[in-house]
Chain A
Amino acid sequence: MYETIGIWTAAIFTLAVYSFLYKENPLYRLGEHLVVGISTGYFIVVTYEQVLKPRLIDPIANDGEYILFIPALLGLLYITRFFPKIAWLSRYPMAFIMGTSMGVGFPLSMKASVLRQLEATILPLYSAGMPWQIVVGNVVLVLGTLAALIYFFFSKPHKGPFFGTGSKIGIWVIMIGFGATFGFTVMGRISLLIGRIQFLLNDWLGVIK
């Protein structure tokens, strides 16, 4: 019974959202607003059950870790944002989170997104037994990266044989990269539609397997 009502409700809302493709209508609007409300309500529940209870309330109540009042108070300062007179207090938790997370992220990003990537671009163009596609690919990879980096060079005019030609090749390589993304995206978007059609035809109507 629960399952049946559930599937029917889901089907009705699915069709309600699709009706938007024809014209905006009240049922679509209802769905759109419900999503905002339900997801926020869900966040509240999960945040309480997964964070506040096991990490704040339980440790304070059972283990007497009163030091956790500090982050709790700091967190509460977010709420001052709603009181214009003391809204500036909300900058404190923001500053704490921003500062520390950027500090933590800095050396890690330096390693993962700069040094590792540089390391991976320094590669033997050819080694024994490498098929020709790979050799050509390696050359394209190294020169392409170089050219695209030239394109993102801002303090020199894009003129002359090095910066001019380099940036031109660079933007071509970048466009090929975007083309690849584009080509994959088509599949991604269609997949989402397929997922819903499978739901409607299989779970709801049961006309396909």
Chain B
Amino acid sequence: MTRILPLLLLILTALAAAQTVEQEQQPIPAEPEIAEASAEEVLDIPPGDISPLAGVDLTAPGDITVMDHPDDSGDRLIVSFSPGSEAEYADLFAAYIIYRRPAGGSDEEWTNVGVMPVGEGTQFVDGYDPDFPVNIGESYEYRVSALYLDETEVMGEPVIAQEVASGQWFHQGKVRVLVACLIFLGLIFYFFSRARMGATMYLRPIAGIEAIDEAIGRATEMGKPILYVPGLSDISDVATIASLTILGRVARKVAEYQTSLIVPNRDPIVYTVAEEAVKQAYLEAGRPDSYDPNSVFFLTQSQFAFVAGVNGIMMREKPATNFYLGMFWAESLILAETGSLSGAIQIAGTDAVTQLPFFITTCDYTLIGEELYAASAYLSREPMQMGSIKGLDSCKAILMVFITAGALMSIMDLLAGTQTLSWLKNIVTTQIVD
């Protein structure tokens, strides 16, 4: 089964690639990036004293074709037209003005819905302007005029739009994201189900985690408490969630060893969750009566006041082991420096990349980024958590295959003059779409 999986993935990826290459060939209208100038602005250009265009017979832009904009909610239309005599008088040409009215409407109903300054082509996407929305299913009439610098406006003929705006049920520019999401979902759920069926899963040892038991044992020997800081963030932070799972396991060990535990909190909700987790752990360890309700407490919400408080605890109680697991910000350095002076074993773990250097240089063990998430699975040994780690590993394996292939193809392109790298890159390139 494990061997079929990579094969399946490859097929899926290939399918995705094929699908997306096809889709690449569809004409996607260029969306204007630069702000359009308003009509007034263009008109404000002072006219020359004697217009060089006086008496010249100018052709207006014509051949208007209106298409529904693909991949939208039905609020945009693509208006293309062919140029008139602007090319001949390119120096004097200023902008195209696009007018719209409901099909068959009166002359008063013509609305200026957009201005395209010179150089922006002859394709206009109508509907971006929130003041002049395109309504779904409504039939419109368009006309385009060419505006010259001397304020001559050459009006084109009105054309009833060939198509009406309609909404689509799937965004074709998002195929790759969808495929990636599906592969991800598939892998995670595949390993979930394997885990549930009781497959044994190997997780490599993580140094910081191996040390937890030893650290708790040491605290017991020394008769000193254990300090556990579940980070400073709120409950929606993934690091906090991982940390609370680890807290449950640590608390259980602590309960078994009959050591004391100190858990200061910064977030009021995290505090209530942590309290419940510790209580539960004591219950599971069969020692609900040794649970001390004062061991988990809410300290303060102010970041630095919190640190000052925890520092005070470290200096007074001299815990044998400090755990800093979860989300930390600037306070990491102050915590770890004080802790290292108090002589405690320090085990830290966070996904805050900016704080990791300080933990690494001042703590005994540090869980780096994803190791923190893995640690919660490793400790809980819950099949679903283990399955999710497995699933993530296979996702990383796919990325590694792509990166290796990219490197090899780049060398091959260099040696053999082929174009394989851009082909590969195309498979994973997502467009900027909304």
User: Taking beta carbons and an 8 Å cutoff, which residues of A are in contact with B?
Assistant: 20, 24, 32-33, 35-36, 81, 94, 97-98, 101, 106-107, 110-111, 114-116, 118-119, 121-126, 142-143, 145-146, 149-150, 152-158, 174-175, 177-179, 181-182, 185
Q: A24-B308, A152-B371 are in contact. Are A107 and B177 (CB under 8 A)?
A: yes
Shortest CB distance A21–B (Å): 12
- B305 contacts A36, C-beta separation under 8 Å: yes
Q: A124 to B411: give the CA distance in the assembly, Å.
A: 8
The answer to whether B204 and A155 touch across the interface, beta carbons within 8 angstroms, is yes
B302 x A35 contact (CB < 8 A): yes
Q: Is the CB of B407 within 8 A of A143?
A: yes
A22 → B minimal CB distance (Å): 14
Question: Is B413 in the interface zone, CB < 8 Å from A?
Answer: yes
Q: How many A-B residue pairs have CB under 8 A?
A: 128
Convert B395-409 into 0s and 1s, putting 1 for each residue whose CB lies closer than 8 angstroms to a CB of A.
011011011101100
B357 at interface, CB cutoff 8 A: yes
17 residue pairs bridging A and B, Cβ less than 8 Å apart: A20-B308, A24-B308, A81-B269, A114-B180, A121-B403, A122-B403, A123-B406, A125-B410, A149-B396, A152-B369, A155-B203, A155-B393, A157-B202, A178-B353, A178-B360, A181-B356, A182-B357
Q: Is there a chain A Cβ closer than 8 Å to B78's Cβ? A: no
Name A157's closest neighbour in chain B (CB-CB): B204
Q: Is the CB of B354 within 8 A of A185?
A: yes
CB-contact partner of A142 in B201, B236, B393, B403, under 8 A: B403
A-binding segment of B66-74, B288-296, B423-431: B423-431
B357 touches A181 (CB 8 A): yes
Report chain B residues within 8 Å CB of A116: 430
For A35, what are the chain B residues with a Cβ–Cβ distance below 8 Å? 302, 305
Using known A-B contacts A32-B305, A115-B177, determine if residue A124 contacts B396 with beta carbons closer than 8 Å. no
Query: Which residues of B are found within 8 Å of A101, using beta-carbon distances?
Result: 236
Is the contact region of chain A dominated by helix, strand, or loop, or is it mixed? helix
B301 on interface, CB distance cutoff 8 Å:
yes
A185: chain B residues within 8 A (beta carbon): 354, 357-358
The complex places the Cα of A106 from the Cα of B399 at a distance, in Å, of 18
Contact B180 A115 (CB under 8 A): yes
Determine the residue in chain B with the shortest Cβ distance to A36. Answer: B302
B143 interfacial by beta-carbon distance below 8 Å = no
What distance in Å separates the Cβ of A165 from its nearest Cβ neighbour in chain B?
14
B390 x A155 contact (CB < 8 A): yes
Which residue of A has the minimal Cβ distance to B407? A142
Interchain CA distance A115-B180 in the complex, whole Å:
8
Complex Cα–Cα for A155 and B403 (A): 20
For residue A130, give the distance in angstroms from its CB to the closest CB of chain B.
11
Q: Report the minimum CB–CB distance from A104 to chain B (whole Å).
A: 13
**In the complex, are the beta carbons of A142 and B390 less than 8 A apart?**
no
Contact in complex: B425, A111 (CB < 8 Å): no
Give the nearest-CB partner of A174 in chain B: B368
Nearest CB of B to A149, in Å: 5
**Residue from the set B374, B400, B411 with the largest chain A CB neighbour count within 10 Å:** B400
